[in-house]
Amino acid sequence: MTTGTLITVAPTGAESAKAEVPALPVTLDELLLTAKECEALGAAVIHVHIRDDEAKPTLDQGRLRETVAALRDSTDLIVQLSSGGAVTDPESARLAVLDAAPDMASCTMGTLNFGDDVFLNRWEFIVDLHTRMQEKGIVPEYEIFDLGHLTALQRLLGKHGLPHGGHVHVDFVMGVPGGMPGTTGTLVAAHQMLRDLPEGTTFSATGIGRSTIPVMLASLSAGGHLRVGMEDTVSYAKGRPVESNMQLVARAVGFAQLAQRPPLTTAEARTLLGL
């Protein structure tokens, strides 16, 4: 489906500190306000990381369940929880994210040098995450940080079957130091590799930092979808901090409309993703 654009907002992430980025939504009330604002503009999916009372990343099960319930009560957004958490989170806590029963969850397809850290995703952990989502009726978004991750996804689907709902959707996360660069050439290469995945596979693309705009434009031109938000960039332009996630979603919506591929409604997004 390329007649419309799936827009995902990733409002918080686990990397930025509230003290350094005051506009970052870290409380449940802040997250709900952001969710409502971004849904009104055209976002259909919200990719969620949560914070504790000190605004530090957490995978606390009670907070996750409360967050999922509140988002469902206040919006019609597709709720996608991050199973990545922070780079220091143990595998057991990352798997337990699924117990909060989101609509979707992320599944990162390999280990990555992540800036100065290592984001560890062992093969056995990936298989466990994939198969548990099948059992629980949760739709995965396969996070692709490097081209080899697409080959790993082909292996995963070949050995362990299609995800719940039968539709494969990936997100190219581009521009992370240690991962694939956020360039048009790289997106073209990644897009070509989708031929090895099941027919009908769709993709979104995320440009980290200064690669945000080039990746958005390249993704739209290739028939892809968009993920934006303060998880991925806290600068709207050089020397201009992001004031809210609304700014980033509004820009993505504007680009999608210019490409004559307006934002998908939440109902259309659910159909696309096999929810």
The separation between CA 8 and the C-alpha centre of its own chain, rounded to angstroms, equals 7
Angle, alpha carbons 97-6-46 (nearest 5°): 30
Read off the pLDDT of residues 18-45 as tens digits, 9 standing for 90 and up. 999 999 999 999 999 999 999 999 999 9
Ramachandran angles phi, psi of 259, nearest 5°: -80, 5
152 neighbors 127 (Cβ within 8 angstroms): no
Determine whether 267 is exposed, middle or buried from the number of CB atoms within 10 Å of its CB (0-12, 13-18, 19+).
exposed
225 neighbors 1 (Cβ within 8 angstroms): no
The pLDDT of residue 2 is 57
Read off the pLDDT of residues 120-167 as tens digits, 9 standing for 90 and up. 999 999 999 999 999 999 999 999 999 999 999 999 999 999 999 999
In which residue ranges of the chain is pLDDT below 50? 1
Q: Which of helix, strand or coil describes residue 78?
A: strand
The pLDDT of residue 88 is 85
The pLDDT of residue 1 is 44
Q: Token pair of 2, please?
A: 């390329």
29 neighbors 51 (Cβ within 8 angstroms): no
In order of 2, 28, 193, 231, the CA distances from 49 in angstroms are: 28, 11, 29, 9
User: CA-to-CA distance for 132 and 100, rounded, in angstroms?
Assistant: 13
The pLDDT of residue 52 is 94
User: CA-to-CA distance for 50 and 31, rounded, in angstroms?
Assistant: 9
In order of 156, 252, 275, the CA distances from 266 in angstroms are: 28, 16, 11
